[in-house]
Structure 1
Amino acid sequence: MISLTVPATGIVTAGSLEDINGIVAIVNDDVIVRSELNNQIRQLTATLQQNGTRPPPIAVLERQVLDRLIMKTLQLAAAKQAGIIISDVLLARAVKNIAAENGMSPTEFRVAVESEGISFHAFREDIREQITLTRLRDQRVIRRIEVSERELDAYLDKAAGQFTQRSDYHISHILITTPDGASAEQINSAKKKAEQLVVRLRTEGASFKEIAIAESEGRNALEGGDLGWRNAAQLPSMFIDILAGMESGGISNPIRNSSGFHIIRLNGYKGGERQIITQTLSRHILIRTNEITSDKDAENRLQQLRQRIEGGDDFGALARSHSDDKGSAIKGGDLGWVSPGDLVPKFEATMDALEKNEISHPFKSQFGWHIVQVLDRKEYDNTENVQRTQARNAIRERKANEEGELYLRRLRDEAYIEIRLSDS
């Protein structure tokens, strides 16, 4: 059994809609039909049952699934307007990669997909939609996000101590929303509902997954509210302050912000160990190939230089006079102290296999032909650099989530949406 994303039928336009297929929603110039909604509900129900989660009442499931279809329709329309087109070549490459991840050839993968009762054409189109939505998010949200050094420093100062304590959290989430400019009555109603859900979760043994699917208005509701593993720096500070005092399996009190009231469940956490790495001090000589210098010529030249060094010639002097890497050549080929991941994989693998003071045989990377010598190694506490990188990525992720939610809200607020569930 392989893990597949089950595709939905496509959004149809009013002109192609048959009378027998009732409309459940009008979204600007598009419509969503009953057959599409039913298909999605069947698929989701099967997935929930397979995972041992009891589906919510059909009316609740209809609302959740229809809302997701509406948002997908809006995003696909926005992508089309933005000129985002996923070519058949790119789609074929993506499907090939998915097949490889499942340890199959493209032909074997197609057979596996169809053996689960899924149309391979529909599967491909679903992948096309997923790539389209990713491109839209990248264009409208991700590319506009910046993280300044001042912002990073301020975040790390505020989060001091978190990295040496709990560094990652696996949480689930329920959101009871309040509208913009909510009245006191609306706020109190949402708060009361959230408090009642907490009681059900804590004292009545209710399933968090089932409650999230049935009641949450968060983006991950249909996944049982599961947000997966998140680095501490990715989470809002109001969550971190509460999670720091919770144990696995704990349920928070309702947490209020501008979106509404949040309930979080701590599924697990990881500690913040020190990041000790091995750094390497090395130097190299590079010979690039071109119309005059072939691969064989470059390899032979480096083999001769290696023999001269082993015969007593100075590596640094030869690097200065022969290396095509001008940046390191003036320093005798010195690359300085490098950390894992700083160099291209082929170069790093060759360097890592060498003993101290050993010189490699000529080898080829994407830049040309090299010989490299390891001068020294040391253990280095890279925790601070790792923390800054994690924090920068986490801030970007948090901003992306926040801006992504705002973008989707704007799409919905600016759209004409008519729900016709009762008419279908």
Structure 2
Amino acid sequence: MNTPLPSSLSVLPARPRRGARPALLLTVLLLLAALLPTTSRATAVEIDYIVAVVNEDVITWSELESRLGQVRQQITQRGGQLPDMDRLRRQVLERMIQEQLQLQMAKIAGIRVDDETVTRVLENIAGENGMTLSQFRAMVERDGTPFATLRENVRKEITIARLRKRRVEERITVTDSEVKNQLAKMGARPTEYHLAHILIATPEAPSPDALARTRARALEVLERVRGGADFAQTALAVSDGQDALAGGDMGWRKLGQLPTAFTDIVAKMQPGEISDLIQTTNGWHIVKLLEVRNNRQPKIVQQTLARHILIRPNALLSDDAARQKLAQLRERILAGEDFALLARTFSDDKASAVDGGSLGWTMPGSLVAAFQKQMDTLRPGEISEPFKTRFGWHIVQVMSRRQKDISAELARREAREQIRKRKTEEAITNWLRRLRDEAYVEVRLDQ
């Protein structure tokens, strides 16, 4: 355990420190995961002070207040009412502590995110909002946010996502029998549930006294929301769940995405109903069913049977030479040579080359966007001009198209993803709790 640091920043040694002020949150950044506190190394400020020690790092009052302002703005944009500021401040501080712990672990694990990756993510965000990266940057800076600050926020989000993938998500498995059981359980029930949630957490391996105390607190909260207290406001104020800052809103979930302990209970609830206490290893849960909808409709898609030839530029073949080579192959095919034979001989996509370039029957969205766009413009039998994707230069020929009902296949795929998501969320919650319990954390809000 580390030695506690003094509360006043003015007496800290003049050394670099993790943590800095986050800038104003842009609405577009809600596409990302929960915003991370921006960090840069700064010298001590006399009027600032420490509100939390996280291992060897600290969180300052100015950082907390800046982040609190962002959360308040998000709540207001959603049309929600602001809860008691002291309670909300503690919620925000706890999220900042969790984020700092994850960044510390990522550093120990050697997880690094390079500038190129950050740029690519920002380009995607800009593209989704109909802008170039330059236009997006100009908008960000017009709103008063230094672009360098935004880049660092994105870098930290990617860092934490990679850490979670390595430590949690890659260890999640879903068996065929689980998928089969999930499909049977879904039956004719409505497929999606809009839920809100409050968690009163218990420590790992809690003592009987700790269980009794947290249960009493949970019962008090349950009585409050059943007595008419606003559920979202109560979640903002007291919930220990990852969705607390969203008013406990879990969004629309299918049964397989719910924690196992919730499934049978939620399936029997009516919209507007609030559950009894639900106990899991994470603590005591209160669930409110907001809405129910059934999206089970036949899913008919147009599938395309196509084949292609790929030529990748390399040290000996320039980009233009690769394009010209494909143009020549296209002319040979149009002159009567066999597409499949040329694909087996020349294509750099070895997986499809052995089948004469065949991609099999594909569904919309299963191929990279640039390839899909070109393929969708072709009539059966037609061969495209050479075009480029991130893999290299292609020509593609559409062989046939058909309409297919993929409802059963889609249901199996969705069931598998629901189970994976539910297992991942439960595993991340447990992992974060262990991370918090094993760390040295000192909260100084009341000092």
Partner of 1:405: 429
Q: 1:19 to 1:296 in 2, by over 3 A?
A: closer
Secondary structure of residue in 1 paired with 2:276: coil
Q: CA RMSD in A?
A: 3.4
Q: Structure 1 residues 233, 274: CA separation in 2 closer, same or farther (over 3 Å shift)?
A: farther
Q: CA deviation at 1:185?
A: 4.7
Alpha carbons 1:26, 1:418 under 8 Å: kept: yes
Contact 2:36/2:156 (CA < 8 Å) preserved in 1? no
Equivalence for 2:408: 384
Displacement of 1:32 = 1.5
State the Cα distance separating 1:332 from its structure 2 match: 7.5
SS in 1 for 2:275: coil
The DSSP-based 3-state class of the residue aligned with 1:422 is coil
The aligned counterpart of 1:263 is 286
2:115 to 76, 85, 88: 88
Check if 1:361 corresponds to 2:396. no
SS of 1:222 mapped into structure 2: helix
Are 1:299 and 2:327 an aligned pair?
Answer: yes
Tell me if structure 2 keeps the 8 A contact 1:299–1:369. no
Distance change >3 Å, CA 193–CA 17, structure 1 → 2: same
| Partner in structure 1 of residue 242 of structure 2 | 219
Q: Distance in 2 between matches of 1:152 and 1:71?
A: 34
Contact 1:164 1:273 in 2 (8 A): no
Map of 1:182-197 to 2, 5 A cutoff? Answer: 182-197=206-221
Q: Distance in 2 between matches of 1:42 and 1:329?
A: 56
Matched, 1:135 2:162: yes
In the alignment, which residue of structure 1 is the partner of 2:104? 77
Distance 2:395 2:51 in 1: 65
Q: Answer yes or no: is 1:10 the counterpart of 2:27.
A: no
On the 8 A contact 1:99/1:105 being kept in 2, the answer is yes
- Structure 2 CA distance for aligned equivalents of residues 82 and 107 of structure 1: 34
Residues 306 and 371 in structure 1, CA contact (< 8 A), matched pair in contact too = no
Answering whether residue 260 of structure 2 is matched by residue 228 of structure 1, we say no
Q: How many residues align?
A: 405
Q: In the alignment, which residue of structure 1 is the partner of 2:277? A: 254
Say if 1:170 and 1:230, in contact at 8 Å, map to a contact too. Answer: yes
Change (3 A) 1:11 1:343: closer
Cα distance in 2 for residues equivalent to 1:101 and 1:52: 24
Tell me the alpha carbon deviations over residues 40-93 of structure 1, each in whole angstroms, 9 at most, x when there is no partner. Answer: 223323332343333222331232122112112211111111122233333333
TM-score by length of 1: 0.81
Label 1:69 to 1:342 Cα distance change in 2 as closer, same or farther (>3 A): closer
Report the Cα distance in structure 2 between the residues aligned to 1:332 and 1:107, rounded to whole angstroms.
Answer: 42
Measure the CA separation in 1 of the matches of 2:223 and 2:78: 25
Q: Work out whether residues 375 and 396 of structure 2, in 8 Å CA contact, stay in contact via their aligned partners in 1.
A: no
How far has the Cα of 1:160 moved from its partner? 0.8
CA distance in 2, matches of 1:327, 1:12: 49
Does the 8 Å contact 1:278/1:378 carry over to 2? yes
Please say if residues 204 and 433 of structure 2, whose CA atoms lie closer than 8 Å, have aligned partners that are also in contact.
Answer: no
Percent identity for Structure 1 against Structure 2: 36
CA distance in 2, matches of 1:99, 1:382: 33
TM-score scaled by length of structure 2: 0.77
Q: Deviations over 1:126-151 (max 9, x none)?
A: 2222222112212222223333xxx2
Report the 3-state secondary structure (helix = DSSP H, G, I; strand = E; otherwise coil) of the residue aligned with 1:421. coil
Structure 2: give runs of 5+ residues left out of the alignment: 1-25
User: Which residue of the partner structure matches residue 422 of structure 1?
Assistant: 446
Indicate the SS of the match to 1:146. coil
Pick one of 146, 163, 178 that aligns with 1:154: 178
Give SS of 1:227's match: strand
- Highest Rg: 1 or 2? 1
RCO comparison, higher one (Cα < 8 Å, 6+): 1
